[in-house]
């Protein structure tokens, strides 16, 4: 299996990389880990004229905590790096757990969080939990930088609002009042399976009352989908099986699944109901963020 010819570039730093991305003509693709890019070039769905590697941007491989900002994750941190991060395990355990549901070791050692986001696949495992945790992304281009909520960054299957000269540098998960969060994925095998349906939930429970809830559905819409009516149904309610059942049914109604080789739309909608229920239970009962 061979890939088309392209010109390979490895700029030495971020500024050089943005300048190069802005100057190059033709079809230009950024290369992080390459697990999606190489896959697409091999199956013939991507044939760039230029490939711009981020391998020299070492500063994008770090995870740190910044007072007042939250946890800052460099775009080139691998899924394995997320899974093993002590800092993330302490602050937002549900993200390492989500990274742990992905692919297999040989791919989680290659694939990066930035690639998982910019690739824009509705099946991707990290965006739902990141959106549930209110994460934002930082984009750096030739003429400056901008920060926007991840929820506004992915706009369709494989589509984001990134500009040709921009690089996603950081993902920030803000400090928050959330008392519990989780990511639940249903795949057809235990390992190496893409999501048929996934549900991320982040809840704030104070004295037995749900004061805030964010529920994000994966693989059942063109983008990671906020189940807004499910969220609204929970707010202000006491924790109870009935409240969770009601929210789960609302999430199923919010979802817009398609039928494909991994499941019919009907099956997916039922999975949304079951997995929303399980995700909410886990987020409420286990009480880790």
Partner 1 sequence: MSNVITDKDGVKRYLITLHVNGDEHTILVKGNTTLTNALRDQLDLTGTKRGCELGDCGSCTVLFDGRPINSCMKLAVEAEGHDIVTIEGVAANGELDAIQQSMINHAAVQCGYCTPGMVLSAKALLTRNPHPTEPEVREAIAGNLCRCTGYVHIVEAVLAASRGDLIPDDAKHTMAGGAK
Residue among 239, 242, 249 nearest 269 (CA): 249
Q: Is residue 68 a contact partner of residue 171, using CB atoms and an 8 Å limit?
A: no
- Give the range of 88-96, 116-124, 251-259, 281-289 binding ligand FAD by CB under 6 A: 116-124
Toward ligand FAD, which CB reaches closer, 85 or 233?
85
Toward partner 1, which CB reaches closer, 104 or 259?
104
Site size for ligand FAD (CB under 6 A): 29
- Give the range of 102-110, 172-180, 205-213, 266-274 binding ligand FAD by CB under 6 A: 102-110
Beta bridge partners of 146: 139
- Residues forming the site for partner 1 (CB under 8 A): 1-8, 10, 31, 33-35, 38-39, 41-43, 51, 53, 55, 80, 103-107, 109-110, 190-192
**Residue 194 CB, nearest distance to ligand FAD (Å)?**
5
51 binds, among partner 1, ligand FAD, none (CB under 5 to 8 A by kind): partner 1
**Residue 82 CB, nearest distance to partner 1 (Å)?**
14
10 binds, among ligand FAD, partner 1, none (CB under 5 to 8 A by kind): partner 1
2 binds, among ligand FAD, partner 1, none (CB under 5 to 8 A by kind): partner 1
Locate 195 and state its tokens: 């999501």
42 binds, among partner 1, ligand FAD, none (CB under 5 to 8 A by kind): partner 1
| Residue 82 touching ligand FAD (CB under 6 A) | no
| Residue 181 touching ligand FAD (CB under 6 A) | no
3-state secondary structure the chain: CCCCCCEEECCCCHHHHHHHHHHCCCCEEEECCCCCHHHHHHHCCCCCCEEEECCCCHHHHCEEEECCCEEEEECCCEHHHHHHCHHHHHHCCHHHHHHHCCCCHHHHCCCEHHHHHHCCCCCCCHHHHHHHCCCEEEEEECCEEEEEEHHHHEEECCEECCCCCCEEEEEEECCCCCCEEEEEEECCCCCCCCCCEEEEEEEEEECCEEEEEEEEEECCCCCCEECHHHHHHHCCCECCHHHHHHHHHHHHHHCCCCCECCECHHHHHHHHHHHHHHHHHHHHHHCCC
Distance CA 208, CA 163 (A): 45
| Residue 30 touching ligand FAD (CB under 6 A) | yes
**Residue 218 CB, nearest distance to ligand FAD (Å)?**
9
Figure out which of the listed residues 103, 132, 172, 201 binds ligand FAD, where binding follows CB under 6 A.
103
Contact partners, residue 287, CB within 8 Å, separation at least 6? 179, 180
Toward partner 1, which CB reaches closer, 42 or 238?
42
177 binds, among partner 1, ligand FAD, none (CB under 5 to 8 A by kind): none
| Residue 39 touching ligand FAD (CB under 6 A) | yes
Binding site for ligand FAD (CB under 6 A): 29-37, 39, 54, 75, 102-103, 107, 110-112, 114-116, 118-119, 124-125, 162, 167-168, 194
């Amino acid at each position: 299996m061979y890939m088309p010819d392209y010109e390979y570039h490895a700029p030495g730093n971020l500024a050089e990389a943005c300048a190069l991305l802005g100057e190059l003509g033709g079809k230009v693709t950024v290369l992080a880990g390459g697990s999606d890019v190489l896959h697409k070039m091999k199956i013939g769905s991507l044939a760039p004229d230029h490939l711009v590697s981020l391998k020299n941007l070492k500063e994008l491989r770090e995870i740190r905590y910044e007072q007042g900002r939250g946890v800052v994750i460099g775009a080139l941190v691998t899924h394995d790096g997320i899974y093993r991060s002590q800092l993330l395990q302490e602050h937002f355990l549900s993200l390492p757990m989500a990274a742990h549901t992905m692919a297999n070791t040989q791919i989680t050692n290659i694939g990066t969080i930035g690639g998982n986001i910019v690739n824009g696949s509705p099946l991707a495992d990290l965006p739902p939990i990141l959106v549930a945790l209110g994460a934002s992304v930082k984009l750096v281009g030739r003429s400056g930088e901008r920060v926007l909520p991840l929820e506004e960054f992915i706009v369709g299957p494989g589509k984001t609002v990134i500009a040709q000269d921009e690089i996603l540098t950081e993902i920030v998960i803000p400090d928050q009042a959330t008392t519990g969060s989780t990511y639940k994925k249903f795949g057809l095998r235990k390992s190496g399976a893409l999501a048929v349906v996934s549900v991320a939930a982040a809840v704030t429970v104070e004295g037995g009352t749900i004061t805030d809830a964010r529920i994000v559905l994966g693989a059942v819409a063109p983008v990671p989908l906020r189940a807004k009516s499910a969220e609204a149904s929970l707010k202000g309610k006491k924790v109870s099986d009935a409240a969770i059942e009601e929210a789960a049914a609302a999430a199923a109604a919010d979802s817009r699944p398609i039928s494909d080789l991994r499941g019919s739309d009907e099956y997916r909608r039922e999975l949304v109901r079951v997995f929303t229920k399980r995700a909410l239970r886990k987020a409420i009962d286990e009480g880790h963020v």
